[in-house]
Structure 1
């Protein structure tokens, strides 16, 4: 690898660390811990002993609790970066961590929570979003001893889980904020691309039915392809790469980055969305909802008209659609909380029980 590329990677790492430091300086120290469910029964019927859920907390446990749910393959550090936490968790901001106790669990299959790469590989029980939500609920109730949440808010996969939270535990929270998500089952290009992600890895001979000696090469290329195709924003990419040379530069930078994912974990977590469908039980949701989506979301294209009819089934729901621009990032727009922080703050202020 050339000195130029190494230098570029080093600069990117320093910038990331600087962003995290800037964000964390604005709110109390983030704490990490594990909670273990001694027994856990998956929807598949499989039973698992000592299921580990790793989680992060910010603030005082005596304050109203906010449950924040991450996206697929999304490291928690992205929720602690300047563009997100730096816009939401600081003094006077929408999720001021002096006023709220913020809980960020790593879902089954993610981060330091139980996952196939811990040792079981493809013998690990197949899980779905409902399993993830059940585990989160048990963490809140059994692990943290909390009986109520001020807010459940999530991005992408976490947004879909937010819909499920409202249906499974309707009296558990004051408010719901699903972001970059919809309640309908995965379909169209969204599911087709996920299916191709999984197939790309499984069809790589190096995968060897999950018994690989090193990460299959298809893991990197499939992940980069999916990311470019379904996140980033059409206008934003054209602005960043108006020539082939600049587009190649963006691709080369991604290809030069090290692989940090595990192939079996990757297959499991993308496959976990297969049976998601919150549509049939929308009438169970009673908490007020602020649904935040972006007009350039590649995975949830606004032109499909999904949500137009569904939102009428909800008792108290409002859709906030962020207009597309060269500054938005398609499906990834929610990591730039500046686009909706004021709306979120106003929404929470309108919900009874808000601590002024």
Structure 2
């Protein structure tokens, strides 16, 4: 029975690969990857969402994985994936993956068996483990040319490089981090506290339409520098869609999902069992690390230290846009990523 089940999955993977290899596709797709043991317990069923773009090369050497940021979905990535964009689908076959807890993949907001905070706490490691299972067992992909991630997506990209060091040849992390600093944790824990203290939170059992205004204010405050906010009203000058986390102004992302993804970020730390030299030694992939010098959401110092230790390619942005600098400096970022992926 097990062998037949595995054969069925391999046949499904072959059919998927045959179909996507013929044309460009970008529709939302989901796969049930089965039960998953996570940080806070076991979930008996986990569906993972993904989208594919471009054409798979005959030798399958042009796969690029793209991960999602905090409160992000693959549907938000339209401005970074496509012909001539950050990840050019004229050259690369892109698999964009919805992270656990984003409301598309298995999440507190959509789980019929473990709704709301009954959904176990998960970590960045669990996100990557699930993605690896999807790729290897259901899509038949056992190697990628590169993995690209922004913010929390950059944390996933680095986790990939550590957990599966032979899977990808290159890794791009943009305003991510291998090690949250006290400054980072202060910002992320402030958002958690804003959720927990909001009127109507009720341990995640909030009523539809409940507003989390303090969460939006805190999150937007950390995304931008004070100087940028003083010069421009963020509400009338939003960053381009799909380039970085949303400004949390429309509450379209479920707060209970946001809460669990924040917990995943606060529990993430690739230096937990060693120093930066040890971490660099675990990573085989070539790295492109892009940081924002004035980032108030993610401290650039650990990423810069990893770049030095690994002798990786480093691009430091100095825009007053803060964490949103990759959006404000999109041209510079796009050129750096395109050159690195070649």
Normalised by the length of structure 1, the TM-score is: 0.76
Figure out how many residues of one structure are paired with residues of the other and give that number: 300
Query: What CA distance in whole angstroms lies between the structure 1 residues aligned with 2:25 and 2:225?
Result: 33
Task: Provide the secondary structure at the position in 2 that maps to 1:165.
Answer: helix
Conservation of the 8 A alpha-carbon contact between 1:151 and 1:174: yes
Match of 2:135 in 1: 140
Change (3 A) 1:333 1:78: farther
Of residues 187, 190, 195, the one that matches 1:201 is: 195
Conservation of the 8 A alpha-carbon contact between 2:102 and 2:258: no
Are 1:164 and 2:156 an aligned pair? no
Change (3 A) 1:29 1:187: same
Conservation of the 8 A alpha-carbon contact between 1:201 and 1:216: no
Structure 1 or 2: more helix by fraction: 1
Of residues 242, 255, 278, the one that matches 1:263 is: 255
Query: What CA distance in whole angstroms lies between the structure 2 residues aligned with 1:162 and 1:255?
Result: 23
Query: What CA distance in whole angstroms lies between the structure 2 residues aligned with 1:101 and 1:255?
Result: 29
Query: What CA distance in whole angstroms lies between the structure 1 residues aligned with 2:188 and 2:295?
Result: 15
- 1:203-222 deviations in Å (ceiling 9; x for gaps): 234122222223433x2x12
Are 1:345 and 2:338 an aligned pair? yes
Query: What CA distance in whole angstroms lies between the structure 1 residues aligned with 2:143 and 2:248?
Result: 45
C-alpha deviation, 1:248, in angstroms? 8.9
C-alpha deviation, 1:196, in angstroms? 2.0
Match of 2:123 in 1: 128
Of residues 157, 178, 181, the one that matches 1:183 is: 178
Change (3 A) 1:234 1:78: farther
In structure 1, the gaps of 5 or more residues are 1-26, 242-246, 350-356
Of residues 58, 61, 64, the one that matches 1:66 is: 64
Are 1:212 and 2:210 an aligned pair? no
Of residues 86, 92, 102, the one that matches 1:110 is: 102
C-alpha deviation, 1:265, in angstroms? 1.5
Match of 2:38 in 1: 42
Query: What CA distance in whole angstroms lies between the structure 1 residues aligned with 2:235 and 2:77?
Result: 28
Conservation of the 8 A alpha-carbon contact between 2:103 and 2:257: no
Match of 1:310 in 2: 306
Change (3 A) 1:36 1:255: closer
Match of 1:299 in 2: 297
C-alpha deviation, 1:166, in angstroms? 0.7
Normalised by the length of structure 2, the TM-score is: 0.79
Change (3 A) 1:187 1:312: closer
List 4+ stretches of structure 1 deviating above 6 A.
Answer: 247-251
